[in-house]
Structure 1
């Protein structure tokens, strides 16, 4: 049996501002943006550049109880992990584009890591796994 996680839903306030942030600040690729008139919403899928793994579904909050979770989907914990093949290249590019890092880069047992915020305040790890790490060959 083979299974995989294809999408992770990220609750957002506005489709266009989220697309702008992820494509222009983080260089993500817009894979799909399809209007669904029967539900008055859009199916918006993005992914990191050259990624063939899990994608992010940008899901606009449609109820007040969903709006409360924009920017805090995991109660203040790091939510998503963006693996890089060149940590310092991406770190410097992101800082030059105004991305806010809330934890400075550090070397850890598993690799180099720093924590940044997306446009809504969700926390992300930018990381580059060390060669030989059990996931290093599996992450694309």
Structure 2
């Protein structure tokens, strides 16, 4: 049976630019970067503290049909694609450091029932959430408006 999650694909506009963002700005490391044909590049990055989980940085292209590639590219241009959630030890510190590197934030750090959360975009417009987690119970959400 399934033992773990090993790979998550992240749709990006440009693999080289995204590889630089994920490594130089966010601190990930390149695992693989291979060209496997005229229209396919296999580029993965990993976080040094979680090397078993690879992020596959990929552009919308074949074998997806043209209409889906176009829809994905429109969603990217509008900044409407979800990315990944990242745990941080100190959300305010991560916000300050990433802001200083030019990262676009949609939401400054805010207290939530599950911890402190900030919402940012990667360089392809994907939403990414930074969370400084804390223990919580379902009761912590009573009456909470998450909008």
Q: Same fold (TM over 0.5)?
A: yes
Q: Deviations over 1:58-85 (max 9, x none)?
A: 1122154224324847x94753211112
CA contact (8 A) 2:92 2:109 kept: no
Is the aligned partner of 1:114 residue 2:124?
Answer: no
Cα–Cα, structure 1 residues 35 and 133, in superposed 2: closer, same or farther, change >3 Å? farther
Q: Deviations over 1:70-114 (max 9, x none)?
A: 4847x9475321111232332111001000111111011110101
* Secondary structure in structure 2 of the residue aligned to 1:85: coil
Larger radius of gyration: 2
Residue equivalent to 2:142: none
Q: Which has the higher helix share?
A: 2
Aligned-residue RMSD, C-alpha:
2.5
CA contact (8 A) 2:113 2:136 kept: no
Is the aligned partner of 1:105 residue 2:104?
Answer: no
Q: Deviations over 1:37-58 (max 9, x none)?
A: 3x64221111234223532101
Which sits farther off after the overlay, 75-84 or 2-11? 75-84
- Distance (whole Å) between structure 2 residues aligned to residue 80 and residue 129 of structure 1: 15
Segments of 5+ residues of structure 1 without an aligned counterpart are 135-140
Is the aligned partner of 1:129 residue 2:133?
Answer: yes
Cα–Cα, structure 1 residues 34 and 77, in superposed 2: closer, same or farther, change >3 Å? closer
Structure 2 length normalisation: TM-score? Answer: 0.75
Structure 1 length normalisation: TM-score? Answer: 0.79
Is the aligned partner of 1:69 residue 2:68?
Answer: no
